[in-house]
Amino acid sequence: MIDHGKKNVLGVLVDAVDYEGALGRIVSAAHEGQALTVTALAVHGVMSGYADDGHRGRLNRFDLVVPDGQPVRWALNLLHSTELLERVYGPELMVKICAVAEREGLDIFLYGSTPAVLDQLERSLRERFPRLSIFGAEPSRFRRLSTSEKEDVAARIRSSGARIVFVGLGCPRQEVWAYEYRYELGMPIVAVGAAFDFHAGGKRQAPRWMQDHGFEWLFRLGSEPRRLWRRYVLLNPWYVGLVAAQWLGLKRFSPSTHRPIDLVSYG
């Protein structure tokens, strides 16, 4: 198990952790009924925190920020000599959590995406984990929620009896959601991004060799060029340049934030 704690990558505090280390913290919090905010960040997620002072404040208050993308793992190894051998990929982390949840009787709740995706996701998870208890699923409304709506969502999740919540709203909305609900729910909230679509069968994952060698972005760009071209064509080179600047000591990146964190209540 590897858990070297939080390390500064462009001002975003990322945990130098492997699957076993992340699972241990999540499962322990689920059994103890403790709040725990978790997200899996690739380059886009790190750059969202770098570019937005308020959002960086949210991310740096998360309990666990795992290196979802290979370039994030590489940055941890380059900047902090963490010697991580693999990333902690959000969709795979979800599978591993579900396997432990099935074995140890930890019930889950699914929040986000569309009704059609959630229906297929539930079927897929039940086929893969027959004894896994899915105590509820609620789709996104794709807008900001009122205070009363937010309270209703929290009450439904709490009353479901679930011990772990998976959130699939996309970056950065899912991190905003997890941050704002962390103490209202009092359980692990795990933001897993595209995992809902992948496990529901709506989107294909990159071949393993592309994932292992950091070319997943190229596969996803080819699959959704109109939606993702700015993310990968513009952000990736910018990220590489900034990491190089941090490594060479040409620029310092502070994890502190000076702007109040807005409450936006996405749902």
Task: Say which residue, 8 or 219, is predicted with more confidence.
Answer: 8
Which residue, chain included where needed, has tokens 């959130």? 167
Q: What does the pLDDT look like over 157-174, one tens digit per residue?
A: 999 999 999 999 988 999
Tell me what pLDDT residue 104 has: 97
Q: Can you tell me the mean pLDDT for 238-267?
A: 85
In which element (H, E) is residue 7 found? strand 3-9
Q: How far apart are CA 179 and CA 58, in angstroms?
A: 6
The domain locations on the chain are: 3-200
How many Å apart are CA 12 and CA 157, to the nearest integer? 29
Alpha-carbon distance of 166 to 182, in angstroms, equals 12
What mean pLDDT do residues 100-106 have? 97
Predicted pLDDT at 107: 97
pLDDT, residue 142, reads 82
| pLDDT higher than threshold 90 for residue 1 | no
SS3 266: strand
pLDDT value for 12: 98
Task: Assign 55 a pLDDT band (cuts: 50, 70, 90).
Answer: very high
pLDDT at 144: 86
* Strands 188-191, 36-41: pairing kind: parallel
Per-residue confidence (pLDDT) for residue 238, from 0 to 100: 93
pTM over the 0.85 mark:
yes
Q: Computed over its alpha carbons, how large is the radius of gyration of the chain? A: 18
